[in-house]
Amino acid sequence: MRVSAKGENGVRAMTILALEFRAGPIPLREIAAREGLSYQFLEQIFLLLRRAGLITSVRGAKGGYALARPPEEIKVGDVLRVLEGPLAPVECMGEGNSDACGKIAACLTRGIWERLRDRMAEVLDDITLADVINTPADYT
C-alpha cells in the first residue's frame, strides 16, 4: 500500500513548481538540487507529467518547466494517476471499472476494494497544489 518514489517525488516536484508559479520556467537541475534527487530520474517523471498535460516545458537556455495550469486547478490525484496508474487497490478494479474475477469469494471482497478506492480518490481529488503550498505549519 505504498506510493512509489516516482509518485512521491513527482508530487514533491509539482509542489516546487506551484511555489514558483509565475517565476517563469524552472530548470530541472534546480529542482533536483533543491530536493536532493537524481536529475535523470526526475527527467523520467517530468516526461510523463508533460505528456499528460500537467506541465509545460520550454527548451533551450533559460528553459525549464512550469505548471500548465494554476495550482488551484491541479489535484494531487491528477499527478498520482499519471505516475502510478489508476487509483485502484487491486488489479481487477480500475477506477470506474468492476470486473468479476471468477473466484469464489470475489464478490464478497470486492466491496472492500471499491470502498477503499473511492475514499482514496476522494481524499486525493480534494487536495489541489494550492492547498499543499498553503498548508499551515500546525496542520498535523
Footprint of DNA on this chain (CB under 7 A)?
Answer: 2, 4-6, 25-29, 38, 40-41, 43-44, 46-47, 50-51, 57-65
Q: Which is nearer to a copy of itself, 44 or 135 (CB)?
A: 135
Smallest distance from the beta carbon of 17 to DNA, in angstroms? 11
Q: Which is nearer to a copy of itself, 61 or 137 (CB)?
A: 137
Smallest distance from the beta carbon of 30 to a copy of itself, in angstroms? 12
Q: Which is nearer to a copy of itself, 60 or 102 (CB)?
A: 102
Max Cα distance, the chain (Å): 60
Q: Which is nearer to a copy of itself, 7 or 64 (CB)?
A: 7
Q: Cα(65)–Cα(26) distance, rounded to whole angstroms?
A: 5
Which partner, a copy of itself, DNA, none, binds residue 76 by CB below 5 to 8 Å per kind? Answer: a copy of itself
Which partner, a copy of itself, DNA, none, binds residue 133 by CB below 5 to 8 Å per kind? Answer: a copy of itself
Kindly list the distances between the CA atom of residue 114 and the CA atoms of 85, 102, 118, in Å, as whole numbers in the listed order. Answer: 16, 17, 6
Smallest distance from the beta carbon of 40 to a copy of itself, in angstroms? 18
**H or E element at residue 34:** helix 28-35
Q: What are phi and psi of 75, to 5 degrees?
A: -95, 150
**H or E element at residue 64:** strand 64-67
Are the C-beta atoms of residues 71 and 133 closer than 8 Å to each other?
yes
